[in-house]
């Protein structure tokens, strides 16, 4: 069946895991994915229209390359290509492929054609189509060599019911699930490298995030507060069109209290238990179901298995630590890729860290130390003074008023 299609550029979007869902769930998730794509393109002022043939989203607009770059940052998208769409006949597809070959193939260059024909769209089968278009490319550059295993250049062909698609580049996207499909979490975020990566990983799996940051004031290095806001801001660039909120709690009274009369080796563990308790208190108002941290196994003294258990026992809420098994190098690689890595972060030093932090905290002793500093009252007071920082499309707004606290993180 030949379909007449006006030759033009189209952005072809592939999504992955959604295929595994049942038909109604898949439809629902694709709807949310399109909504998120729309939000990110609207945020950039890019007008478009879209179609959803089987297994793909096709986006038409005046700036296909800009559209493709934006869509390649939308969670749930696996990869994106700027394709030429034409009639689905081997002749028409070959004509477009030939111009690509003339432009990109050189003598001696290894190339492959990856062809797919959608069932029922007529014409030669995938293998035959690949062979025909391979021949066209060899005509365009007779010195080139077919190599299906280690090609230097690939041309992708899709003969579908709604047209023939030809492209030679796939822009990798994050994959995962559409943002907003998996409920909400509170993510403990710092100025460091790990926590923004942990938060990004949860957003990638479809979670709405509310960030929570502890501002330790004079106990923290002078770049710490701004570094946390910067991490939060950069993460908002991954969910364009959505306001991402960060709650900032003044934790300096805790450090003042801990500096007097408790076993100093427990400071780090109690600090983390404080963060968890504050997070747990905020969860209902934030419609959050879990706490997320960038904690890792063995990276610092507070992160031994036994300390992680003592920290978790401060709350009954579930705690997710997406990075627990990652090496620091692996985390840095992801941080660079997602844009949160900062080569020169400035002074992030914590002045409260003792010389010899405990690596095997005793829960009973920790609880006794907390009672000594009136831990519950410190938590109560911290909750009374919360600043909200909203990041949207990389722009920051600060709200000093706590009414903003009850706003859901994003409309699902």
Residues lying near ligand ATP in the complex (CB under 6 A) are found at: 188-190, 192-195, 212-214, 275, 293-295, 300
Range 190-214 burial, b when 16+ CB lie within 10 A, else e: bbbbbbbbbbbbbbbbbbbbbbbbb
- The residue whose two tokens read 């000093």 is 400
Residue 190 binds: one of Mg ion, ligand ATP, none (C-beta under 5 to 8 A by kind): ligand ATP
Half-sphere exposure of residue 314: CA atoms within 13 angstroms, side-chain side: 28
* Nearest residue (CB) to Mg ion, 305 versus 377: 305
* Nearest residue (CB) to Mg ion, 70 versus 194: 194
Q: Select from 93-101, 186-194, 217-225, 374-382 the region that touches Mg ion (CB under 5 A).
A: 186-194
Min dist CB 285 to ligand ATP, Å, is 18
Give the burial class of 286: count Cβ atoms within 10 A of its Cβ; 0-12 exposed, 13-18 middle, 19 or more buried.
Answer: buried
Residue 195 binds: one of ligand ATP, Mg ion, none (C-beta under 5 to 8 A by kind): ligand ATP
Residue 130 binds: one of ligand ATP, Mg ion, none (C-beta under 5 to 8 A by kind): none
Query: What are 384's two structure tokens?
Result: 């009374």
Residue 189 binds: one of ligand ATP, Mg ion, none (C-beta under 5 to 8 A by kind): ligand ATP
Min dist CB 115 to Mg ion, Å, is 47
224: nearest Cα among 188, 193, 191: 191
Residue 188 binds: one of Mg ion, ligand ATP, none (C-beta under 5 to 8 A by kind): ligand ATP
Min dist CB 401 to ligand ATP, Å, is 21
- Measured distance CA(77)–CA(80) in Å, rounded: 8
Q: Are 182 and 287 in contact, with CB atoms under 8 Å apart? A: no
Strand partners, 387: 248
Q: Select from 27-35, 131-139, 192-200, 202-210 the region that touches Mg ion (CB under 5 A).
A: 192-200
* Nearest residue (CB) to ligand ATP, 192 versus 206: 192
Which 3-state string (H, E, C) describes 347-377?
Answer: CCCECCCCCCCCCCCCHHHHHHHHHHCCHHH
Residue 303 interacts with Mg ion (CB under 5 A): yes or no: no
Residues 6+ apart with CB under 8 A from 315: 276, 277, 279, 280, 291
* Nearest residue (CB) to ligand ATP, 214 versus 280: 214
Residue 275 binds: one of Mg ion, ligand ATP, none (C-beta under 5 to 8 A by kind): ligand ATP
**C-alpha to C-alpha distances, 109 to 3, 60, 138, 147, nearest whole angstrom:** 33, 32, 11, 9
Q: Select from 98-106, 154-162, 194-202, 236-244 the region that touches Mg ion (CB under 5 A).
A: 194-202
Residue 194 interacts with Mg ion (CB under 5 A): yes or no: yes
Min dist CB 198 to ligand ATP, Å, is 6
Min dist CB 183 to ligand ATP, Å, is 19
Min dist CB 287 to ligand ATP, Å, is 20
* Nearest residue (CB) to ligand ATP, 155 versus 185: 185
* Nearest residue (CB) to ligand ATP, 90 versus 322: 322
Query: What angle separates helix 267-282 from helix 305-312, to the nearest 10 degrees?
Result: 40
If DSSP codes are grouped into helix, strand and coil, which group holds residue 94? helix
87: nearest Cα among 28, 149, 159: 159
Min dist CB 315 to Mg ion, Å, is 19
Min dist CB 200 to ligand ATP, Å, is 12
170: nearest Cα among 254, 82, 248: 82
* Nearest residue (CB) to ligand ATP, 86 versus 213: 213
Residue 239 binds: one of Mg ion, ligand ATP, none (C-beta under 5 to 8 A by kind): none
* Nearest residue (CB) to ligand ATP, 10 versus 323: 323
- Torsion angle of alpha carbons 295, 298, 304, 308, nearest 10°? 10
Q: What does DSSP assign to residue 219?
A: G
Size of residue set near Mg ion by CB under 5 A: 1
Min dist CB 374 to ligand ATP, Å, is 21
- Largest Cα span, the chain: 83
Q: What does DSSP assign to residue 303?
A: G
Min dist CB 243 to ligand ATP, Å, is 20
* Backbone angles phi and psi of 150, in degrees to 5: -125, 60
Question: What residues make contact with Mg ion under the rule CB under 5 A?
Answer: 194
């Amino acid at each position: 069946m030949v379909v007449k299609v006006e030759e033009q550029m189209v952005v072809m979007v592939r999504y992955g895991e959604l295929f595994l869902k049942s038909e109604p769930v898949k439809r629902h998730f694709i709807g949310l994915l399109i909504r998120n794509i729309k939000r990110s393109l609207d945020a950039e002022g890019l007008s478009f229209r879209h179609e959803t043939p089987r297994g793909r989203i096709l986006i038409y607009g005046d700036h296909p390359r800009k559209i493709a770059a934006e869509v390649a940052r939308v969670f749930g998208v696996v990869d994106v290509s700027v394709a030429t769409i034409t009639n689905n006949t081997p002749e028409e597809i070959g004509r477009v492929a030939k111009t690509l070959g003339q432009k990109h193939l050189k003598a001696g260059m290894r190339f492959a054609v990856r062809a797919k024909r959608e069932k029922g769209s007529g014409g030669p089968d995938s293998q035959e189509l690949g062979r025909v278009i391979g021949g066209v490319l060899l005509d365009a550059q007779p010195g080139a060599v077919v190599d299906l295993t280690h090609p230097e250049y690939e041309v992708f062909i899709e003969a579908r019911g709604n047209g023939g698609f030809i492209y030679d580049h796939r822009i990798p996207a994050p994959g995962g699930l559409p943002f907003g499909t998996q409920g909400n979490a509170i993510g403990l975020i710092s100025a460091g490298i790990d926590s923004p990566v942990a938060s990004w990983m949860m957003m990638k799996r479809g979670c709405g995030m509310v960030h929570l940051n502890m501002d330790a004031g004079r106990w923290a290095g002078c770049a710490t507060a701004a570094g946390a806001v910067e991490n939060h801001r950069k993460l908002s660039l991954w969910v364009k069109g959505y306001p991402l909120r960060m709650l900032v709690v003044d934790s300096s009274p805790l450090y003042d209290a801990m500096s007097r009369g408790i076993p100093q080796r427990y400071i780090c563990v109690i600090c983390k238990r404080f963060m968890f308790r504050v997070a747990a208190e905020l969860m209902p108002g934030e419609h959050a179901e879990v706490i997320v941290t960038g904690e890792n196994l063995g990276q610092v003294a507070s992160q031994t298995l036994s300390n992680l258990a003592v920290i978790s026992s401060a709350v009954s809420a579930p705690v997710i630590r997406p990075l627990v098994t990652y090496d620091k190098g692996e985390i840095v690689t992801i941080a660079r890729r997602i844009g949160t890595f900062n080569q020169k972060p400035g002074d992030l030093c914590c002045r409260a860290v003792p010389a010899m932090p405990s690596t095997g905290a005793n829960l009973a002793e920790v609880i006794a130390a907390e009672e000594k500093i009136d831990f519950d009252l410190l938590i109560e007071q911290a909750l009374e003074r919360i600043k909200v920082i909203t990041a949207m499309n990389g722009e920051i707004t600060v709200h000093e008023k706590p009414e903003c606290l009850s706003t859901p993180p994003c409309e699902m």
